[in-house]
Amino acid sequence: MKFIKLGLVAAALMTVSGVSLAQQKDIKIVDPRESPYVISPNGVVVMNPFGLCWRTGFWTLERAATTKIEGAPFPNWTVGCVCDRALMKPPVCEPPPPPPPPPAPPPPPPPQPSARAPTSEKVTFAADALFDFDKATLRPEGRAKLDDLVSKLAGVSLEVIIAVGYTDRIGSDAYNLKLSQRRAQAVKDYLVSKGIEPNRVYTEGKGEANPVKQCADPSAKGEVRNQKQLIDCLQPNRRVEVEVVGTRPVRK
């Protein structure tokens, strides 16, 4: 009878738990003191052939839910999750929630306005304001007009200057083409003498092309009655167009 009583005491101290994970092997408790489950001499939680744990006299639900084990799959996983999972309350045996997604990257800053604004300006000079009639040598008044143009280029990051010369329709096509080219070259030479880089200035002569005013011959009926009046009427066609392309600082 004494043996039976001892057996009953042992049974009371080592009750088989109701639910456990039979697949779990070699469960070691981090701090085996007052373990809620029987531990073998090598520190492993004892399980029966069915994978069920044996409770000790120290077993309480709270102790089972708080006793840590080595190599837990989740930080909050305890020995109770192995031996008495059905009794554990969330979130003891549940994996931690996934980390929140990283915050969306901030939108890129709006592009800063350029400190320089593109500029393209075209100035048309009457040829008679730059040259004597039928000549390609700059007059003093013509040099003054080009000086004014150069002064306006101060602060401009220059890309290119294009000088295009034109004539009226009086005279042969070949003569007028050469005259327009010589006048455009005269403009370039003067701009270069004022400090403009030669490779920034391009010239072109178009002769009597692209007239801006049409005038009838003196023999036709109209306001033009003689050669002098025809020359005066065609004056707008005798011109030099100067186009400046570059960037200018933005004014705040």
Six-digit token string for 13: 């101290």
Outline where DSSP puts E strands in the chain.
116-126, 157-165, 201-205, 239-249
Average pLDDT (138-159) is 89
Predicted model pTM = 0.53
Backbone angles phi, psi at 185, to 5 degrees: -70, -35
Instruction: Give the pLDDT band (50/70/90) at residue 232.
Output: confident
Helices and strands of the chain, counted as H and E runs: 7, 4
Higher pLDDT, 163 or 95: 163
Compute the distance between CA of residue 128 and CA of residue 132 in angstroms, rounded to an integer. Answer: 6
Pairing type for strands 157-165 and 201-205 reads parallel
Closest to 113 in 3D by CA, of 247, 4, 9: 247
* pLDDT of the residue at 251: 67
The sign of the CA dihedral 181, 187, 192, 197 is negative
- What does 167-230 look like in DSSP terms, one character per residue? --SSS-HHHHHHHHHHHHHHHHHHHHHTT--GGGEEEEE-TT-S-S-----TTSSSS--SHHHH
Res. 9: pLDDT tops 60: no
Residues 134, 238: contact at Cβ < 8 Å?
no
Closest to 244 in 3D by CA, of 206, 193, 187, 205: 187
Arithmetic mean of pLDDT over the chain: 82
| Proportion of the chain above pLDDT 70, given as a percent | 85
| Helices of type H across 14-92 | 61-66, 79-83
Res. 25: pLDDT tops 80: no
Instruction: Give the pLDDT band (50/70/90) at residue 225.
Output: low
Res. 174: pLDDT tops 90: yes
Res. 90: pLDDT tops 80: yes
Res. 1: pLDDT tops 60: no
Residues 125, 145: contact at Cβ < 8 Å?
yes
